[in-house]
Chains A and B, each alone.
Chain A
Amino acid sequence: MGELIHLNPLVWTGKDPGLWAIANEVVDPEIPVLTVVDMGIVRDIRQDGNNIEVSITPTYTGCPAMDMIGDEIRNAFLRNGFAEVKIKTVLSPAWTTDWISDEAKEKLRKYGIAPPAHTTADKNVLLGKDKKVKCPRCGSEHTEMISNFGSTACKALWKCTDCKEPFDYFKCI
């Protein structure tokens, strides 16, 4: 992977594009079109000689994919020749869907998952009202929520009343 990685400036803390490129090899196990860097899960990467320390932040506290993500990140660095890889979990600042870039949101939509519709600073989130969620297939805004708890901790289940298809919605948090 030699491409330049576009990182949300809120997420970027490391200085070495090479290290971030390695982390970017790891895809989210549940949403394989996104990498853990796209998701904002990787917070920091420190190098000390041949040893690496990666700080990750959990999306939801109970997310069962986090253990696997940690293992996969470790494997990616070991594959690339590093000797020891330590994975550190940081809780603060709390992960937020605000850290998912616009490009990543478009990847989600193409994959069939409606991306988070607004920033958490949006008053609608505080008031418990969702903005219009667009159907990822037909683009219609005539959509309804079936359940706020979907196939994974981070997703809700919605349906489109125009094309009649159900779809996952990545919840704002």
Chain B
Amino acid sequence: MSTNKDALLKFVLRLGDNNLILGHRLSEWCSFGPFLEEDIAMSNIALDYIGQARVLYTYAGEVEGKGHAEDYFAYERKEHSFTNALLTEMPNGDFAQSIARQLYYSAFANLVLTALLDSKDETLKGYAGKAIKETNYHMRHALDWLHRLGEGTEESHRRMQEGLNALWMYTKDLFADVESDKALAAAGIAPDVPALYNQWFETISKAIREATLQVPDAKAWQMEGSRTNRHTENLGYIIAEMQYVTRAYPGLQW
């Protein structure tokens, strides 16, 4: 496999893994939402992510060329083969923490997808054209709740602030400087992801301030993992639950 193909596979899988793991986390709200409409909202957003993961994994299978279908990437790889960003595997926490994660992630996804609209890779370009429209709705949802909680009661304000603070140290990891990405950026296939950080910071800072909350310290220590493909303990539990059925009944069809 040529360098570019290998780099492309890694990049597509990273996007797919972000979507699958975050989609799985959000699906944990299903039937546990604070009230019915938000239960449905979280489930709907989870569905968007899982759908995007399907598209990306299917493409990964084509790029890899070993006959692997989408299910292989989702259900047959072990923890250390997953390349999702740390933020996506963080526990949901309370509703405010989940909203903080949605805010941070959607703003990131927006930037990556916008850049991919100009990708020289036709499939990524097509994928981005669809995904960005859905991400816009995700972002609006996160912003709505950021404001409602930030400007709500003393408790909602406190919880929203705690959520933003708790996840802050996992945010820089979204923009990890992965070595194989450089070849893709040079070829106009993928954006220079680390370079998107400043714009992301501006967007979320503005939103947080408008919601009367404090922006966490830009110089605070940040956890790293994506660049060297290391994960938190959380991923093991996610994989165990998500892959249980396929591992218990290999080859099951229905």
Which of A61, A90, A95, A147 meets B40, CB within 8 Å? Answer: A147
B208 close to A (CB within 8 Å): no
Contacts A58-B130, A61-B48, A62-B49 given; does A149 touch B122 at CB 8 Å: no
Contacting pair A92 B137 (CB below 8 A):
no
Q: How many residues of chain A have a CB within 8 Å of chain B?
A: 23
Interchain Cβ contacts under 8 Å between A and B, 8 examples: A60-B48, A62-B47, A62-B50, A91-B129, A91-B130, A94-B130, A94-B133, A153-B51
Q: Are B51 and A94 in contact (CB under 8 A)?
A: no
Q: Is the CB of A62 within 8 A of B40?
A: no
The yes or no answer to B120 lying at the interface (CB within 8 A) is no
B162 within 8 A of A: no
Known pairs A61-B55, A63-B51, A91-B123 / 12 extra A-B pairs, C-beta < 8 Å = A62-B52, A62-B54, A94-B126, A94-B133, A128-B136, A149-B40, A149-B43, A149-B44, A149-B45, A149-B141, A153-B51, A157-B40
B 10-69 contacts with A by CB, 8 A: 37-38, 40-41, 43-45, 47-52, 54-55
Q: A149-B40, A153-B48 are in contact. Are A61 and B54 (CB under 8 A)?
A: yes
Would A148 and B54 be within 8 Å (CB), given that A62-B48, A92-B126 are in contact? no
- The CA of A55 and the CA of B162, in the complex, are separated in Å by 48
Chain A, residues 58-92, CB within 8 Å of chain B (1/0): the string is 10111110000000000000000000000000111
Structural contact, B52 and A157, CB atoms closer than 8 A: no
Most buried by B among A63, A64, A92: A92
Distance of A91 Cα from B54 Cα, bound (Å): 12
A61 → chain B closest CB, angstroms: 4
Whole-angstrom distance from the CB of B125 to the nearest CB of chain A? 7
Q: Nearest 4 A-B pairs (CB), nearest first?
A: A62-B51, A92-B126, A91-B126, A61-B51
In angstroms, how far is the closest chain A Cβ from the Cβ of B177? 28
- Of B129, B131, B140, which contacts A128 at CB under 8 A? B140
- Verify if A150 is at the interface (C-beta below 8 Å from B): yes
Most A-side CB within 10 Å, residue of B48, B54, B133: B133
* Distance in angstroms between the alpha carbons of A91 and B130 in the assembled complex: 7
Can you list, as one digit per residue, whether each of B110-129 has a CB less than 8 Å from chain A (1) or not (0)?
A: 00000000000011011101
Q: How far is the CB of A149 from chain B (nearest CB, A)?
A: 4
Tell me if A93 is interfacial: C-beta within 8 Å of chain B: yes
Which A110-131 residues have C-beta < 8 A from chain B?
A: 128
Contact with B along A143-165 (1 / 0, CB 8 A): 00011111101000100000000
Contact B129 A94 (CB under 8 A): yes
- Which residues does chain B contribute within 8 Å of A90, judged by CB atoms? 126
A38 to B125, CA, bound (A): 26
- How distant is the Cα of A151 from the Cα of B45 in the complex, in angstroms? 12
A21 contacts the other chain (CB 8 A)? no
